[in-house]
Amino acid sequence: MKLITRNTDYAIRALAYMARKEDELTSATEIVKALKVPKQFLRSIMQKLGRNGFVKSYKGIGGGFKLSKRPSSVYIKDVAEAFQGAFRLNECLLGKSVCPNRKCCALKKKIDSIEKHVVSEMSSITVSDLLKG
C-alpha cells in the first residue's frame, strides 16, 4: 500500500530538478540523464505535467520544460493527485448493500479521519521543501 506511485515519484523529482535551475529550460533528455530513469516513461510524465499546468513546454532544438509556478506553491498533494487521482482511502469498503451500518461504521469513520490527515499532510509540503538536501 504505497502512498505515492512511481510516476508521481519521478514527477516530483523532475519538478525539484527543474526548480534548482530556476527559470532555465530543461529538456527531458537532461532530466533522464540526471535522474537515471527510463526515457519514454519520463517523457510521458513530463507531458502529463504539461497538461496539468505544472510546467510549460517549448518544442524544437533548445526546447524543453520549465516550471509554470513558484516551487513554493506546488503542493506534493496536487502532483500526486494528478497522477493517482484523489486520495480515497475508503475505496474498498463495500457499499451499503453488504454493510448496512456503513454510515455509522466505526472503521469507516476511522479511515475517513486517516484520509483527512493524509491529505492535510501532503498539502503541507511543496516542491521547494525538497530542495534543502
Partner DNA sequence: ATAAAATGATATCATGTTAGTATCATATTG
Partner DNA sequence: CAATATGATACTAACATGATATCATTTTAT
Q: For binding to a copy of itself (CB under 8 A), which residues are involved? A: 1-6, 9, 12-13, 35-37, 76, 84, 87-94, 97-101, 104-107, 110-111, 113-115, 117-118, 121-122, 124-125, 129-130, 132-133
**Closer by beta carbon to a copy of itself, 47 or else 87:** 87
Query: Which does residue 17 bind out of DNA, a copy of itself, none, counting CB within 5 to 8 angstroms by kind?
Result: none
Nearest distance from residue 38's CB to DNA, in Å?
3
Nearest distance from residue 132's CB to a copy of itself, in Å?
7
**Closer by beta carbon to DNA, 72 or else 88:** 88
Cell of 116: 483527512
Which residues neighbour 20 within 8 Å (Cβ) at sequence distance 6 or greater? 131
Rounded-to-integer distance, Cα 42 and Cα 36, Å? 10
Rounded-to-integer distance, Cα 128 and Cα 133, Å? 11
**Closer by beta carbon to DNA, 2 or else 103:** 2
Rounded-to-integer distance, Cα 19 and Cα 5, Å? 21
Nearest distance from residue 22's CB to a copy of itself, in Å?
19
C-alpha pair distances (Å), 107 with each of 65, 74, 116: 44, 33, 14
